[in-house]
Amino acid sequence: MAQGCPITGLEVALTDLQSSQNNVRHHTEEISVDRLVVRRGQAFSITLYFKNRGFQPGMDSIMFVAETGPLPDLAKGTRAVFSFTGSGGPSPWIASLEANRANSLEVSLCAPPIAAVGRYLLKIRIDSYQGFVTAYQLGEFILLFNPWCPADAVYLESEPQRQEYVVNDYGFIYQGSKSWIRPCPWNYGQFEENIIDICLELLEKSLNFQVDPSTDCALRGSPVYTSRVVCAMINSNDDNGVLNGNWSENYVDGINPAEWTGSVAILKQWHATGCQPVRYGQCWVFAAVMCTVMRCLGIPTRVITNFDSGHDTDGNLIIDEYYDNTGRILENMKKDTVWNFHVWNECWMARKDLPPGYGGWQVLDATPQETSNGLYCCGPASVKAIKEGEIDLNYDTRFAFSMVNADCMSWLVYGGKEQKLHQDTATVGNFISTKSIQSDERDDITESYKYEEGSLQEREVFLKALQKLQATRSQGPHQANSNPFSSVPPRHNSARSPDSPSLQPSDVLQVSLKFELLNSPKMGQDINFVLLAVNMSPQFKDLKLNLSAQSLLHDGSPLVPFWQDTAFITLFPEEEKSYPCKILYSQYSQYLSTDKLIRISALGEEKNSPEKILVNKIITLTFPGIMINVLGAAFVNQPLTVQVVFSNPLSEPVEDCVLTLEGSGLFRKQQRVLIGVLKPHHKASITLKTVPFKSGQRQIQANLRSNRFKDIKGYKNVYVDIGL
């Protein structure tokens, strides 16, 4: 510098956070191009422009400050002070000088891979020669978990998995029954406008934040802690969480859970109403919204469906079901349940709080079933720990184990007494499903949760879990013996067809019962089936069979029985007979639940014998889906025409028909089309236009509801080109 030229303080004129370039490198460009959204453990660049002169290393000292939360604290890690030389103290944050130009400075900053996620304020303090000091707020940025960083606890090595479980904004949630698994399309929309802000607001509305905001913000560096907070906030049982659960079939003051097709509308409604819980959700809605929030925060997440899912309320690893002498489920005695299907999440993370080997996929269940440390949340429970029966490991592994591997005990209640009918080791936990990686196919992951049913390993794991349970608590009801299998040995019928959940043949009666459908049961049509009875003994058998049918909710709760029959069958030695049955549409139409599930049961007994045999089968009524046609190629910012074809599957008119469509990157908001009345078996179509605003693989999700059905679904994958 020339002699006599005064040295002044270095003044910042402008800061360029380089949001567009940084966000591309940090895989957050779909969240925003105008706001800086970066991932921890990965450097990002900013440019400082100065008013009066350039940066002089010998004359100027720059100190950066990064703060998050309402009470930033150096000791807790929510405030970081750091410089190019590291003289700001033992901060794990890193600043590097990239380029020093005449009046600007390009700087690389990097948050440590353990930093708390959330909204940060970036400040700067400049100390110049002769005591000149200036300080500025450079701007805000959002810091997320980083599954691309090997040092991050959520690191996922596979790029296809990262694309599927972090970046993909649509998917499928599997519903129905194990005999009819249907994909329900869902718009996760984690990168849609304002969703990142709503996710951060969700963290700040948690009870943890309300009680101790400083500690809560400091702990947000842990995916284990953050996932538990999010899990509790998705339901509203303890707080103003996102969703109210409702399994009553009465949704007049809200939305039937079956009608939702995406998370965006739910989260935006929660935010717009001042964080009032949205009505209503059930398990798949809780899991889908949690998937949106977790992917948005950067934690790899997928949605899991477990068919025949156990809900063990008393924690004894046994699901007790009670029947009357007609084979009807007794709701007033039903505490444990087997859900036709249940949906939860798996999140990928290291588990340094557990013994080695239990990291990876972790179960998190936001459906409010049981409390965990006083709050309605479940997990994270290591999937590996569930498979190995390590039910004493944190968090809620015992409950998760019972969902996939509890045993079922059937009881007959008659004359004020309870008679054990059967203990089944193979009913719970079937066809555990999730969407395949970068494919629309279903991936069966049952083997990651348990060893093959009927195998020695599976029984050994169950007994190990039982022993761990008995070491920490008194025995549950109906377990007077130290080994619950002392009176009923483990049995598994390898020949049982996957669509026939019949119980095992009675060893005493030596009779086998089984239901068989004569045709595929369709919504609006009669149900035709037969009851097969097989005499496996050398004696005659005179059987009395009480048959019944009742609708079920997907959580296993029965509705009022609407059909009953009694049959008397005489069987010669080793003879097989079939008893034909028909349930008319007019008999079940008024009793059908939204889930369209019917449970048929038969309770058999032989004359002059106290022994009973029970068989049941769950029928899922199918219905035609919605067809979506995209007319022409799709380009960003160019009009696109979409045709939607749908029909009324019933032989009667349906009213109040409403069609909804959505799709991230294709529609700015959910589209609602009032259809009105649809005549019997009438097919209709509508055409509408939209303007895609994001490129790449996209999906349109559609739902048709009426006064008689709520969830006729359809979807269409669309590739949107950037164009010219």
As annotated, the binding site includes 405, 407, 453, 458
* Identity of the residue numbered 402: S
DSSP 616-661: EEEEE-B----EEEEES-EETTS-EEEEEEEE--SSS-EEEEEEEE
Q: Active site residue: 152, 308, 320, 365, which one?
A: 365
Number of helical H runs and strand E runs in the chain? 13, 37
Active site residue 283: yes
- Yes or no: say if 688 and 642 are a contact pair by the CB < 8 Å rule: yes
Residue ranges of the annotated binding site for Ca(2+) are: 405, 407, 453, 458
Q: Active site residue: 184, 231, 275, 283, which one?
A: 283
- Yes or no: say if 346 and 359 are a contact pair by the CB < 8 Å rule: no
Q: What is residue 245's three-state secondary structure?
A: strand
Q: Active site residue: 27, 342, 422, 554, which one?
A: 342
- Yes or no: say if 588 and 596 are a contact pair by the CB < 8 Å rule: no
Cα 90 from Cα 539, distance rounded (Å): 86
Q: What is the DSSP letter of 663?
A: -
What separation, in Å, do the N-terminal and C-terminal C-alpha atoms of the chain show?
51
For helices 283-297 and 223-234, give the axis angle rounded to 10 degrees.
140
* Identity of the residue numbered 673: V
* Identity of the residue numbered 76: K
DSSP 503-531: PPPBTTTTEEEEEEESS--BTTS-EEEEE
Q: What is the DSSP letter of 425?
A: S
- Yes or no: say if 380 and 395 are a contact pair by the CB < 8 Å rule: yes
Q: What is the largest CA-CA distance in the chain?
A: 121
Active site residue 478: no
* C-alpha closest to that of 665 among 642, 637, 687: 637
- Yes or no: say if 642 and 689 are a contact pair by the CB < 8 Å rule: yes
Give how far the C-alpha of residue 11 lies from the chain's centroid of Cα atoms, to the nearest Å: 50
Catalytic residue annotation: 283, 342, 365
